[in-house]
Structure 1
């Protein structure tokens, strides 16, 4: 399936692909997932709808690929030599403005996933599961270094804690997530829960 999708996408240049993804994200911000149509993407990008379907298969795949395209690299490649350094590096990859934009997008997509099982499935397969596997590499290195006990019960909930800190700040404080907030949250909540060094 992935090989077929890759073969389909390879007909579009990386520059054109980036342009399409940017337009998809702009439309998502403007109208939300439910109101976003392949017709609107085709008009915005001066593409044919047939080309979009041939390359991506449908709206869920196109939207999730656009979200993936904005990610600044594999989480598992972060290796500063300490878990605290790795988690701080993770939240430092995007500036506060980008983080605020992504937070708003994710809130909208989270709502859409409740009523669109096809979007939820593609999102899980192409974003959540790969990200969790990458994050697992970061945590395993911390265990291997002796920073975290291998039987620490909080290990299974680190992703939940990180997503919680990112997603709930707007809900609780009516503020977007920022680097300063997330690094403080990591030091005050995530690392202590893991029994890992906080300095």
Structure 2
């Protein structure tokens, strides 16, 4: 099987990369991805840019899709699993407070390119779902579950199952409707005007 799209099963060998080195490598991967796009990104190019041998890369990651997905995961400014303020409104506020306009603009362009690439590369789509999307959905479900346990949100609220779709949609919809990426102010207003009222919060 081609190494660029290898299976997602984790490597069993112990990595020789330190956490600091891994963080530096992930940053270089995303920078290279912004420069050349997913199709032109190769493990050899990553090895050259990061001054890391291909053998070391393949000991740590099974292929390009997993490396890219884990780099995105590592560089995320905020994850839902990190948030627990004691109220759903406070949780969403904490999420938005960690966002920044320059970062969102930069990441929006990157994610649009990756979503396009995922249509042509099922292995990339699988890696993004396994390593990026599913963990975030799990964290969001836990955050919403806490709100239900506190009595803030009814367990049978009709909008509850659609919160993930709503949050993903707001990032895509503004770009399509207004030709501008979502920024923290837009996300905050959207949550206050759409998400929380739909949950009767």
- Gaps (5+ residues) in structure 2? 1-6
| In structure 1, C-alpha distance between the alignment counterparts of 2:80 and 2:192, rounded to whole Å | 19
Match of 2:75 among 58, 70, 75: 70
Aligned residue pair count: 195
Say whether the 8 Å CA contact 1:9–1:56 is kept in structure 2: no
Greater helix share, 1 or 2? 1
| In structure 1, C-alpha distance between the alignment counterparts of 2:42 and 2:8, rounded to whole Å | 24
Q: 1:95 matched to which residue of 2?
A: 100
Say whether the 8 Å CA contact 2:10–2:61 is kept in structure 1: no
How far 1:61 sits from its partner (Å)? Answer: 0.8
Q: 2:161 matched to which residue of 1?
A: 156
Q: 1:185 matched to which residue of 2?
A: 190
SS of aligned partner of 1:157? helix
Pairing 1:18–2:18 present: no
Q: Deviations over 1:7-42 (max 9, x none)?
A: 546310111111110111001111111111111111
Say whether the 8 Å CA contact 2:33–2:41 is kept in structure 1: yes
- Gaps (5+ residues) in structure 1? none
SS of aligned partner of 2:37? helix
Match of 1:144 among 145, 149, 163: 149
Superposed CA RMSD: 1.9
TM-score by length of 2: 0.90
Say whether the 8 Å CA contact 1:76–1:137 is kept in structure 2: yes
Match of 1:108 among 94, 106, 113: 113
How far 1:168 sits from its partner (Å)? Answer: 2.1
Pairing 1:79–2:89 present: no
Q: CA 1:88–1:121 in 2, change beyond 3 Å: closer, same or farther?
A: same
Pairing 1:45–2:50 present: yes
TM-score by length of 1: 0.91
SS of aligned partner of 1:100? helix
How far 1:69 sits from its partner (Å)? Answer: 0.7
How far 1:2 sits from its partner (Å)? Answer: 9.2
